[in-house]
Amino acid sequence: MPNRESRDNPAFRMSRRKMMKGVAAVLGALALPEKDASASVWESFFQKHFREMSKPDLEKVLDRLEKEYGKTYGKTVKVRATPHIEGVSYGYGLDLSRCIGCRRCVYACVRENNQSRDPQIHYIRVLQLDKERGVDLEHAEHYYNPSNVPEKGHFYMPVQCHQCENPPCTKVCPVQATWKERDGIVVVDYNWCIGCRYCMAACPYGARHFNWKKPGLPAAEMNPETHYLGNRPRPVGVVEKCTFCIQRVRNTPGRYPACVEVCPVGARKFGNLLDPESEIRYVIENKRVFILKEDLNTRPKFYYFYAT
Amino acid sequence: MPMKMIWGFFKGTLTLISKGSRAYYAWVSCLLVLIGIGVLAYIYQMQHGLIVTAMRDQVAWGFYISNFTFLVGVAAAAVLLVIPAYVYNWKPIKEIAVLGEMLAVSAMVMCLLFVTVDIGRPDRFWHLIPKVGILNFPQSMLAWDVVVLNIYLVLNLTIAVYILYNLYHKREPNKSFTTPLLLFSIPAAVSIHTVTAFLYNGLAARPFWNASILAPRFLASAFCSGPAFMIILFQVIRKYTRIEIRNEAIFKVAELIAYSMFINLFLLGAEVFKEYYSNTVHLAPLQYLLQGLKGHNDLVPYIWTAMIFNVSAFFLFLVPQTRENYVTLNIGCVLIFIGVYIEKGMGLVIPGQVPDVLGEIYEYAPTGIELLVTLGIWATGLFVYTLLLRVAVPILTGEFFVGDDGRTAVIVDTEFIRRADHLAEQSYRD
């Protein structure tokens, strides 16, 4: 605090920088959720693209975000930018013969990734399908709500970001605010996204979600272990998506994403595609595997299979 | 010295736009009120987020982008009118060109505004500026669109201002400067519309848009809506100002509209045949549009209204008797403008997203806020066009020019919108 005061003290001198700052603050205040901390508004307004930041730049940004979130949520928040691990490319398996459609994954994901509770944002959409029709999206039931699952004659197909090898969403972004990382995870820089939603139009899996209003995230439920490209709190007006829990899998190699961890029937598999000993490689090599919308040549790294 | 001359011209235009008849004042204040309402609605949207629109994850583009798409067509076609003007050597080529260019400028302004109100973070617009931000060119079709739309805006503004500025100084515009630019504006007009079509066309996830017939259809329908507006405008202008536009030119434009509409309907028919006959999963969006899907049929009455309007207008413009009768001609223009507005707006943007990529049907209908913001932007476009005409028309008729000192502007036309009998009186005096 004293630091900021001393910086703001010679406020009578109307330098050009000050004026710009004022302009930026007004512009920023129109769109940003909080109107306090004018210095932080200024800094976030002119923040560079994640991949163009130098190490010290990035450190400063992470610092600022930690302070900002700490103040908003009243707890110590960690914002990391852990880089990818060499020799790792993540792959995901989903056993359709096991999934019972309980949606525990959906809500574990929401808790882990700090999604908005009001309005609700879900990275995972579980579809209820007819066994007779097979994978027929036109007849999928999105809002099934019986007292008990699974229901007779149905099977369940969870859909989330397929982390495509050839992602149509990143190609269309007019400002390169979204890209595929070296470990195959498709990420968004929430501070660079302009919210045009072209990526949402381009995604064949409905994996991208927009913050139509300021995300409603209760402080008590906020997960303070975050990643810059992952589960840190999002501002209004930007797109977000599943990142295979980047904050977990990069920080603690070998740790599972929240959805894998919570699945009560073990329908979800996760691992390194480049490791011949990994479970995901075993699944791909030994089970009947398919990918969704293969004809679009998106080459998902999300494999559906039937184990039994 | 040139700076002083430009300043004189600029000051003159400011005086000019503040003068006018009661009708002019009434029209402009009416537009200003609508703009004000639009601004208030937009501020409300800024405060609450885009949640105040009816757009959701399933239908992430709605009314704003529909209007944008339609207006790109209007902007493109206004300039394409220059081609027949040259081919058939219509008398007031210069006038037709300037009016078209200025309509393109106004439509472009509206396009840019529609995109601005649609994006979630307008405060980050600078991310699109090359070097300062990062423009994902040439990968993203949206980046292409940003580039071509801005070039097109600047190009049209340059041509129109150059011609008018020279006429104001009572000299003929230098043909070796205007002609190449005018000729360049023709492929530019085609390209803005093609790029906008490709924006949708390139998305394999959306079968309704992923049809190669989309870009040709865009051009054909644009050649209907833009000129339909121009026909009505030509009549207004020749009635209330001293610019003369011959009947022959107006009827020819109507005839060209008939041909374009035929191509548009034919291409649409080809698309409908392909989808219905092959009957794949890709039929669903078209079914949603034309028949309704699983009891969801919000768009159906609109698209059939558009179809009926377009087909009727086609016949009105095809038959010489109705084409050359001003009552039926104007009815046809209105029908086409509304018909294409529905077909190329909501009729194109919404079915691309319904059912969504996972088969869910979310029925989109714009909210009151979306309607008010849209109304405000249309008023802004008309406001811009009115002011441009307010300056251009007196220059073209020789009622606004530079005085003998080479600096001060002389304003003869202090009324702008005048009654026709008043005009007739004047022309007797000439």
The arithmetic mean of pLDDT across residues A27-40, rounded, is: 57
Question: Around B132, how many Cα atoms within 13 Å sit in the side-chain half-sphere?
Answer: 8
Contact B56 A212 (CB under 8 A): yes
Contact A238 B120 (CB under 8 A): yes
Distances (CA, A) of B221 to A122, B52, B105: 39, 31, 19
The arithmetic mean of pLDDT across residues A268-285, rounded, is: 97
What is the model's pLDDT at position A258?
A: 98
Residue B427 included in any domain = no
First-to-last CA distance in chain A? 62
CATH of the domain at B256: 1.20.1630.10
What is the model's pLDDT at position A19?
A: 56
Q: Determine the Cα–Cα distance for residues B403 and B80; give it in Å rounded to an integer.
A: 35
Nearest CB to B284 within list A138, A197, A209 = A138
Please answer whether residues A150 and A127 qualify as being in contact, where contact means their C-beta atoms are separated by less than 8 angstroms: no
Which architecture does CATH list for A83-308? 2-Layer Sandwich (3.30)
Residue B356 included in any domain = yes
Domain layout of chain A by residue ranges: 1-46, 83-308
What is the model's pLDDT at position B4?
A: 86
Residues 58-87, chain B, touching A (beta carbon < 8 A): 58, 60-61
Point out the residues of chain B with pLDDT beneath 70. Answer: 1, 91, 418-430
What is the model's pLDDT at position B428?
A: 40
A179, burial (CB in 10 Å: exposed 0-12, middle 13-18, buried 19+): buried
User: Using alpha carbons only, what angle is made at residue B221 by residues B265 and B237, rounded to the nearest 5 degrees?
Assistant: 130
Q: Angle B368-396/B2-17 helices, nearest 10 degrees?
A: 120
The arithmetic mean of pLDDT across residues A289-305, rounded, is: 97
Amino acid at B334: V
Chain B residue with CA closest to A191: the answer is B124
pLDDT band at A12; cut points 50, 70, 90 = very low
Residue B183 included in any domain = yes
At B145-179, the pLDDT tens digits run: 999 999 999 999 999 999 999 999 999 888 898 88
What is the model's pLDDT at position A118?
A: 94
First-to-last CA distance in chain B? 34
Cα A223 to chain centroid distance, Å, stands at: 14
Residue B402 included in any domain = no
Please answer whether residues A246 and A187 qualify as being in contact, where contact means their C-beta atoms are separated by less than 8 angstroms: yes
SS3 A175: coil
* B9, two tokens: 């011209």
Q: Determine the Cα–Cα distance for residues A176 and A181; give it in Å rounded to an integer.
A: 13
Q: How many domains does chain B have?
A: 1
Please answer whether residues B298 and B290 qualify as being in contact, where contact means their C-beta atoms are separated by less than 8 angstroms: no
* Residue position matching structure tokens 């049929």: B297
Which residues partner with B293 through β-bridges? B296
Please answer whether residues B52 and B44 qualify as being in contact, where contact means their C-beta atoms are separated by less than 8 angstroms: yes
What is the model's pLDDT at position A132?
A: 95
Chain B touched by A289 (CB under 8 Å):
no
CB pairs under 8 A between A and B: 153
At A94-133, the pLDDT tens digits run: 999 999 999 999 999 999 999 999 999 999 999 999 999 9
The arithmetic mean of pLDDT across residues A275-301, rounded, is: 96
SS3 A46: coil
Chain A touched by B359 (CB under 8 Å):
yes
Q: ω before B138 within 30° of 0 (cis)?
A: yes
Q: Determine the Cα–Cα distance for residues A162 and A160; give it in Å rounded to an integer.
A: 6
Residue B155 included in any domain = yes
pLDDT band at A47; cut points 50, 70, 90 = very high
Chain A touched by B357 (CB under 8 Å):
yes
Residues 15-44, chain B, touching A (beta carbon < 8 A): none
Mean pLDDT over the full length of chain B = 91
Mean pLDDT over the full length of chain A = 90
Contact B125 A168 (CB under 8 A): no
User: What is the enclosing helix (H) or strand (E) of A111?
Assistant: helix A104-113
Q: Which domain holds residue B314?
A: 20-397
Q: What is the pTM of this model?
A: 0.91
Please answer whether residues B62 and B54 qualify as being in contact, where contact means their C-beta atoms are separated by less than 8 angstroms: yes
The ipTM assigned to this model is 0.92
SS (H, E, C) chain B: CHHHHHHHHHHHHHHHHCCCCHHHHHHHHHHHHHHHHHHHHHHHHHHHCHHHCCCCCCCCCCHHHHHHHHHHHHHHHHHHCHHHHHHCCCCCHHHHHHHHHHHHHHHHHHHHHHHHHHCCCHHHHHHHCCCCCCCCCCCCHHHHHHHHHHHHHHHHHHHHHHHHHHHHCCCCCCHHHHHHHHHHHHHHHHHHHHHHHHHHHCCCCCCCCCCCCHHHHHHHHHHHHHHHHHHHHHHHHHHHCCCCCCHHHHHHHHHHHHHHHHHHHHHHHHHHHHHHHHCCHHHHHHHHHHCCECCECCCHHHHHHHHHHHHHHHHHHHCHHHHCCHHHHHHHHHHHHHHHHHHHCHHHHCCCCCCCCCCCCCCCCCCHHHHHHHHHHHHHHHHHHHHHHHHHHHHHCCCEEECCCCCCEEECCCCCCCCHHHHHHHHHHC
Residues 37-56, chain A, touching B (beta carbon < 8 A): 45, 49, 52
